[in-house]
Amino acid sequence: MRVDVVTLFPELFAPFLDISFVGKARERGKLEVRFRSPREFGLGVHRSVDDTPYGGGSGMVLRVDCVVSCMEAMDADAPGGERAHRVLLTPQGRRFRQADAQRLAELPAVMLVCGRYEGFDERVRSFVDEEIALGDFVLSGGEVAAMTIIEACVRLIPGVLGNDASVSEESHSPSTGGLLEYPQYTRPAEFRGLKVDPILLSGDHGRIAAWRKEQSLQRTRARRPDLLDQPSDGQDAAPPHEEADR
């Protein structure tokens, strides 16, 4: 998988990309990450990439010409000429879900476009394939969101984790119907009066499987009842292209 990142601060990614399974994925050639800054296409002596908004208002807005030129330049020198699927990271995008991670992980190349300041010129939206948000909150930039998406996708690539089966029975996964994962326990069997359910110690795999299924349903009903009403693919009903400001 190749991930192209459009960002004004590529240095923020250095430790993230070098440790844990993300670093191992890069070492094994399963993940390639490239960076390009809109600053390369900035204007004037200071390579300015932002300007005051038309109509007035506080803050500065990223220029459409600088951002789009950066995206196009990344595609122009892409390995094998593979154009990346462009994702604008914005709090007004569709909420990122496990199904999105699976879908993006199966693509050969994804471009994550990170904003700063008061957001993007509206016309940037015309040059991306979809818009994604981590949730209903605002960050100062898209870099943390980009790292989150990279990690969520990379762990789904076969051979990245030590045990590929570990991603098949976890919260929000398709194999669990998008429900929350059942409770997990390990030694000791009792800790300060808190005991592990005897079924898990019984060795009866049929009863254990039934217990886990029921616990998953109960936990989802108690903590995230909204998941029980989600479409089967785990997506929001809203279309991918929405108003973008970050």
Residues 138, 194: one domain?
no
Residues 185, 134: one domain?
no
At residue 196, the pLDDT reads 98
In a domain, 120, yes or no: yes
CATH number for 112: 3.40.1280.10
By residue count, the chain amounts to 246
Segments forming the whole domain that contains residue 193:
179-229
Which pLDDT tens digit goes with each residue over 35-85?
999 999 999 999 999 999 999 998 999 999 999 999 999 999 999 999 999
At residue 230, the pLDDT reads 74
Residues 87, 205: one domain?
no
pLDDT above 80: residue 245: no
DSSP H helices in the chain: 14-18, 20-27, 64-76, 98-105, 143-154, 198-201, 205-223
Distance CA 129, CA 146 (A): 16
Q: What is the pTM of this model?
A: 0.87
Lowest pLDDT segment from 116-120, 126-130, 198-202, 211-215: 116-120
In a domain, 243, yes or no: no
CA dist list (Å): 52 to 117, 126, 131, 195, 219: 11, 20, 23, 61, 49
Number of domains in the chain: 2
In a domain, 168, yes or no: no
In a domain, 236, yes or no: no
At residue 232, the pLDDT reads 52
Confidence of residue 234 (pLDDT cuts 50, 70, 90): very low
Residues 27, 142: one domain?
yes
Residues 183, 140: one domain?
no
Residues 117, 185: one domain?
no
CATH number for 218: 1.10.1270.20
Helix (H) or strand (E) segment spanning residue 4: strand 2-6
Q: Quick check: 84 and 74 in contact, CB under 8 A?
A: yes
For residue 234, the 8-state DSSP code is -
In a domain, 160, yes or no: no
State the chain's mean pLDDT as an integer: 91
Greater model confidence, 110 or 235: 110
Residues 94, 205: one domain?
no
Residue 35 phi, psi dihedral angles, 5° rounding: -125, 150
Q: Quick check: 187 and 193 in contact, CB under 8 A?
A: no
Residues 61, 137: one domain?
yes
